[in-house]
Amino acid sequence: MEACVILVDNSNVSIGGRKLSASRKGVERGEHGEPEAIDPSWRLDFKELLEALADARPVHAALLAGSRCGGSDAIWRAAEASGFEVYVHEREAHHGEKAVDTELAVRGTELIVSAPEPMTLILASGDRDFLPLVEVARRRGWQVELAAFREAFDPDGELATAVGRVRPLDDLFDRIGFCEFEWPEQKPAPAQPQKARKRGAGRPAAVSA
């Protein structure tokens, strides 16, 4: 069976999953009026993601890149423990995600040109910035698969039409992710005001002798 190289754009996949999770919960707009809601409780299960993308094929390399703005490194340690080679960039204004795309594109190209034989490139991102990488892979005789949430790519766009297979992650949603906490919070029902009891109510009636 032909081996595969897996490249995961963590932000692209995570945001797509959080949008779908919010939609499934019936939350259509963001807390501050944004046109799309994002479920902050949804998390990727990196082990299941890797297995689902590989689809029983041997994995030659699995790379995941993302950006951070402070916070814990637990998410990246979890990805490494699940079998990914992880690359993280500091998020500065709008440059963090471009650095992630560049990281994946460069390392993906290195893997393609140095491979002893053609394999299958599995790109987990709907970002069209990866189109040049896809074209390099195809010129080298590789098969290319696009794996992304439907909201992240145009099915008739350049990226989707340049690959040999499109695998919507929506179909794997229940397998590759989970909700870490309850969201949206269930607000308790407001207490019902008690009716004022009429004077003398509840007292036994006087009995005439």
> Could you read off the pLDDT of 36-74 as tens digits, one per residue?
899 999 999 999 999 999 999 999 999 999 998 767 789
Per cent of the chain over pLDDT 70 is 83
Closest to 5 (Cα-Cα) out of 85, 104, 111:
111
Predicted structure pTM score: 0.85
Q: Is pLDDT of 136 > 60? A: yes
Q: Say whether pLDDT at 202 is over 60.
A: no
| pLDDT at residue 192 tops 90 | no
Encode pLDDT of 88-102 as tens digits.
Answer: 998 765 554 778 999
Instruction: Name which residue leads in pLDDT, 193 or 16.
Output: 16
User: Above 80 in pLDDT, residue 23?
Assistant: yes
Q: CB neighbours of 40 closer than 8 A, spacing ≥ 6? A: 18, 183
Question: Between 94 and 195, whose confidence is greater?
Answer: 195
pLDDT above 90 covers a percentage of the chain that reads 74
pLDDT at 180 over 50: yes
Contact in structure between 147 and 123 (CB atoms under 8 Å): yes
Question: What is the average pLDDT across 22-40?
Answer: 83
Amino acid 98: pLDDT: 78
Mean of per-residue pLDDT scores for the chain: 89
Domain segments of the chain: what residues?
4-13+45-179
Q: Containing H/E element for 135?
A: helix 131-139
AA letter at 64: L
> Which pair of tokens denotes residue 7?
């490249």
CATH number for the region 4-13+45-179 comes to 3.40.50.1010
